[in-house]
Amino acid sequence: MGPMSRCILRSSVKYLASLPTLLQNRMSSSRAPLAAVCQVTSTPDKEANFSVCEQLVQEAKERGACMVFLPEGFDYIGSSREETLSLSETLGGDTISKYAQLARKLELWLSLGGFHERGHDWENDRRIYNSHVIINNEGDITSVYRKSHLFDVELPEKGVSLKESAFTIPGPALVSPVQTPIGKVGLGICYDLRFPELSLALQRHGAEILTYPSAFTVATGAAHWEVLLRARAIETQCFVFAAAQVGRHHEKRASYGHALAVDPWGEVVGDCGGEQPGVVLVEVDMDRVVRTRRNMPVQQHRRDEAFYCVKANPK
């Protein structure tokens, strides 16, 4: 296994290294399907980015994964607003076409976690969507979620200053969880992680897995990344997969890394670390979801929506 794939795994994950007998046993058994959660260091070089992602996807396939999760900005991370806009494409462009071909060739599903999609009125307003695209094993787009919460944050003391809304259109709505070979996947993107209403809505609509492909800043990642992902898993009793960007993209921007997989109890079962690209494989055992929800039936204990509307105390 090369340096690109050295990820940290906790003891509860069945990690497939280069052991042919284990791989054969898994492929011939009826054990839980494997998901692959990736982290990369995207730059403005789209061809180089695709080459790295393609290598990780191929590695994941060789190790038995049936679905691979790539992070926000898997296509590129621009060094300026102008570059970001000029490199954008439509869903019918070359980038998504190449990933569709890859999915079809390798016969696996892809979560493309944050694609710079040209808006529907591109010629007039030159704005884009941040789009999470799901491609099935036949190379077809099965779902597109456009990021609804945009990262407009100024933290001078942390060196964080980003205004996503300057060039990005907020998505109009959530989308229904997608039935995949590993379970029903609810789609979010990065900053959406901070809004529990989104995760709870997806869970109510049947999500068994939540996914937050991200490019968290180093400062906010160190402070909040793991605790937020674990909280979303605990409150929804879902698996949570969060592919991530890591390292320096260009002179103006770096990302925290630590692509994580969290189980429905809130335990971190896979961590790609904070230094370099890689991939972690995780068994997606739906019995864990069922057992966790049965033993602690939080959703059954939730009161009706009207109860949570705060009212003035009666005199």
* Positions marked active-site: 72, 147, 190
Contact 35, 261 (CB under 8 A): yes
- C-alpha 21/C-alpha 3 separation (Å) is 23
Contact 89, 96 (CB under 8 A): yes
Beta partners for 281?
Answer: 36
**Amino acid type, 114:** G
Place of tokens 């079962």: 269
Q: Which whole-number Å values give the CA distances from 4 to 1, 53, 59, 272, 279, in the listed order?
A: 8, 11, 10, 10, 8
- Residue among 212, 135, 139 nearest 178 (CA): 135
- C-alpha 274/C-alpha 218 separation (Å) is 9
Contact 276, 256 (CB under 8 A): no
* Distance, C-alpha 23 to centroid of its chain: 26
- C-alpha 248/C-alpha 43 separation (Å) is 8
- C-alpha 251/C-alpha 186 separation (Å) is 34
- C-alpha 77/C-alpha 116 separation (Å) is 9
- C-alpha 20/C-alpha 35 separation (Å) is 19
